[in-house]
Structure 1
């Protein structure tokens, strides 16, 4: 007998807890539309009570998504739950996901509550949530280190109170697959009203076992898996959605479940999340890594040529690895350009935005002989910031780098109607550019990450640069793309500076950990 496995994606909430991965409202909506295109069952759009920005982002996703359930996380207190309820109100299908810690160490050291108080608070939370929706999920934070008897007790009570989904998180990635499967199996067997809910798991990857633990739990009876695109998430990340989905599909002989995921959208989703968050995908990453379907060994190549299944357990085309080339050029019109953006799920909200994007496309077409979808996505992201958030704009850049000489850079920026110019030298051309930018901005931010990736193949490929800056408690990513890697670096640093200036402060995202 085969059951449907509910895929609960938390890229926009738990994935955003990765340092520097905070997303704007518009970026969250773009990713949510792609998740909807993938036919994800539940999209956890954020933690509405964390800040006004998070609230507006959850609401924007709830307004944009029509096919998937839109969910907001909330701690088990009245304020959090009411904020979550208001945020998801526009959704066709909305869910509130409330949680409270249940492990002895969390109850004693973090909550400073007795077990009786925790149960009482959890039941109250379900009641508040049901004022907004009947679709309420309850999570026992740090369930992987909680006492079984107490978990049985609290789950029985929240089910009586009206919870429809019970989530068992391995919050700190501590469990091993056999152990975690045993916990889930015992809970389903021992909780008297366990047949009234969907059992869910949310596994972290601290020991590299998030996917293994999730699949073991599915074999033990769980019918919802909480996961993220590319395994994004705090610390070592979460269970990778693409790995869970393709494992279920490939090993149907051992896992009696199926998903409704449109798997051909997996690679496009992976690339979109990577590009927006600035977290590149390692080449040997399962399913979505550049080398996932590459065969270097002569023995392997010979086997695949004779019969694909000798070395491939799934088809690259099934997960979206296709040569998806954008056949637009310098002579292409705006309507064709607009149509391709729509096919890629990129929403253009005004004629002004379309005109600006089309101008950038034409400029890129003058530099590159072939333009790919990845180029277009990077181009759109490069100019996606609202004009009011662009305090600094790159006007001109001149860099000199010569063997035996110290590299130097001259940068001109536009800021509040003025042109600001600075010159600096550095250990390399990028270092010189960044130092010149700092002379203008005087941000006093610390550079945490500088990452360069080629968007496509070929020597004329655009370089995509990610810059991560920190100042105080804020960490931001900046992205830039250009066929000139020095220019791309300058754009990325400027983008990060603008985010530092314009971004609203957020509460500590770790407060939403599940």
Structure 2
């Protein structure tokens, strides 16, 4: 890289709009959406989709609720032409869905485009030509008047062809391609000239698309450009203003949102941002951003995993695991402090509460994601992550001190393995560490207790040990103290019961119970044991045995 990049690159000039109003606006409803996956996105694939993959993608877009879909560049290839024909001939287009096709400003290509649309119920013809100084000078060798003449001549032909085919409800879209680095006054001039030819009205709807063909400045400058255009375009109330942001600077989403705040009515983009170079704006991100603010996006991503699966299959491109809202790690916390906050959020949440959850701006279940993916455990995880997974999958609500103890063993295991611990590995570690594996030193077989005249309780139990079966007897002021009295006679290390917790594993009267016991030994060490049984007394005794065993 150059030490002095200013010697080679220059900043793009901002627009003068000191009384801009868009920063005070809020997005309170969804814009119109146009999916360009089947056209713009498809053109950006190393291996463009065949008919079968296109149809699979088409069905996905319909399922998500898209009402406007740019399906092809029919004059560019026979495959695209045939796909448009297939949709029409096989009656695959719902009555409330409008297909859109793209064409360059050339007579032969426009004629071919209309041939592909023969018999369509509703269609949008999208015409574009580049308008920026660089393209006028370097690519086309045309001056401003010639560029306007090209656009108006093509628009006149398109209107004529629409009027010759009244059986189709036509909509016209014009794009001054490279709008974002076209002089604002010239962008207005060419769009006014095109609109004068089309004469937009209810019978002749029109869209003017103002694309960020290549991002050349910060999103606020793009918003200024959109607001300036909306303020000065004489037919603003008669046309739909659309935006088509690309993502060259990585700010396509911000450009789209600010453009809507600045007056745009429609957003064009692709699912997960596929497109030339760094891609088009991601419509999933935009829709979910609205959803997280309580605004219905009018799109349905309630099965996000299926959306990802279909798009990856059709595009043959992976969706990044940390892609906003949809990546497989988008809701996952490995960090101990994050996990602790999320666990406390779930513990405090009531069923009818508004969603307020640390680190989770939306409920993953709303888009078909399970809570199992929220917290995952590796060597960076703390006590809350392991405890949350144990609770979610097995119903055990670990006492805080036990959470701390278990997390130390989890970190040791994860460090030694050098990778994430699966839920099954986590559970097996818990079972083996706290005595739930049925090969423990002391396994309670039967027990009997009775109260004595002195107020003490006598316990008699049959216990399976490593050497066979033994009879245990003990006395105490309660069941656990009697069991502790009896088992202490078998041990060389004196101990006391330091913590005891229990709870039911369900709401039914016949549900099993779990008991947690921590024993403190004379040398200062301590150990936890856990017992699970339909009889809470048996669970408690077994938890004690597991702690000392």
Shorter-chain TM-score: which interval? 0.5 to 0.7
Equivalent residue in structure 2 for 1:187, among 208, 226, 229: 229
The superposition leaves residues 22-63 of structure 1 with CA deviations (integer Å, 9 ceiling, x where unpaired) of 001121111011101111121111110001111111222344
Of 13-22 and 139-148, the range deviating more from structure 2:
13-22
Give the Cα separation in 2 of the matches to 1:289 and 1:2: 26
Matches within 5 A, 1:359-508: none
Give the Cα separation in 2 of the matches to 1:53 and 1:120: 31
Give the Cα separation in 2 of the matches to 1:92 and 1:264: 30
Give the Cα separation in 2 of the matches to 1:126 and 1:265: 41
Helix, strand or coil: the match of 1:221?
Answer: coil
Give the Cα separation in 2 of the matches to 1:267 and 1:90: 36
4+ aligned runs moved over 4 Å, structure 1: 1-4
Name the counterpart of 2:78. Answer: 52
Give the Cα separation in 2 of the matches to 1:244 and 1:316: 17
TM-score (norm 2): 0.56
Structure 1 residue 126: Cα displacement: 2.3
Equivalent residue in structure 2 for 1:273, among 311, 314, 328: 311
Give the Cα separation in 1 of the matches to 2:124 and 2:358: 44
TM-score (norm 1): 0.59
Helix, strand or coil: the match of 1:64?
Answer: coil
Give the Cα separation in 1 of the matches to 2:155 and 2:305: 37
Structure 1 residue 64: Cα displacement: 1.8
CA RMSD of aligned residues (A): 2.3
Name the counterpart of 1:151. Answer: 187
Helix, strand or coil: the match of 1:16?
Answer: helix
Structure 1 residue 248: Cα displacement: 2.2
The superposition leaves residues 137-156 of structure 1 with CA deviations (integer Å, 9 ceiling, x where unpaired) of 11111111100110111111
Give the Cα separation in 2 of the matches to 1:21 and 1:266: 25
The superposition leaves residues 408-462 of structure 1 with CA deviations (integer Å, 9 ceiling, x where unpaired) of xxxxxxxxxxxxxxxxxxxxxxxxxxxxxxxxxxxxxxxxxxxxxxxxx99xxxx
Of 162-171 and 123-132, the range deviating more from structure 2:
123-132
Helix, strand or coil: the match of 2:38?
Answer: coil
Name the counterpart of 1:172. Answer: 214
Name the counterpart of 2:427. Answer: none
Name the counterpart of 1:73. Answer: 102
Equivalent residue in structure 1 for 2:360, among 302, 312, 334: 312
Matches within 5 A, 1:2-13: 2-13=28-39
Structure 1 residue 230: Cα displacement: 1.3
Structure 1 residue 2: Cα displacement: 4.4
Helix, strand or coil: the match of 2:250?
Answer: coil
For the pair shown, the structure with the greater C-alpha radius of gyration is 2
Contact in 1 for aligned 2:34/2:66 (Cα 8 Å): yes
Give the Cα separation in 1 of the matches to 2:48 and 2:158: 26
Contact in 2 for aligned 1:5/1:223 (Cα 8 Å): yes
- Segments of structure 2 that go 5 or more residues without pairing to the other structure are 1-26, 163-168, 201-205, 347-356, 373-422, 425-549
Name the counterpart of 2:131. Answer: 102
Mark the CA change 1:317 to 1:69 in structure 2 (over 3 Å): closer, same or farther.
Answer: farther
The superposition leaves residues 97-148 of structure 1 with CA deviations (integer Å, 9 ceiling, x where unpaired) of 1101010111122122221122122122223333235311111111111001
Give the Cα separation in 1 of the matches to 2:151 and 2:183: 17
Equivalent residue in structure 2 for 1:263, among 298, 301, 310: 301
Give the Cα separation in 2 of the matches to 1:113 and 1:322: 57
Structure 1 residue 17: Cα displacement: 2.2
Helix, strand or coil: the match of 2:231?
Answer: helix
- Segments of structure 1 that go 5 or more residues without pairing to the other structure are 325-456, 459-514
Helix, strand or coil: the match of 1:139?
Answer: strand
Structure 1 residue 175: Cα displacement: 2.8
The superposition leaves residues 50-98 of structure 1 with CA deviations (integer Å, 9 ceiling, x where unpaired) of 0111111122234422142111111122222222223233433211111
Helix, strand or coil: the match of 2:302?
Answer: helix
Contact in 1 for aligned 2:122/2:170 (Cα 8 Å): no
Contact in 1 for aligned 2:288/2:297 (Cα 8 Å): no
Of 50-59 and 137-146, the range deviating more from structure 2:
50-59
Give the Cα separation in 2 of the matches to 1:269 and 1:128: 39
Name the counterpart of 1:300. Answer: 338
Give the Cα separation in 1 of the matches to 2:175 and 2:308: 27
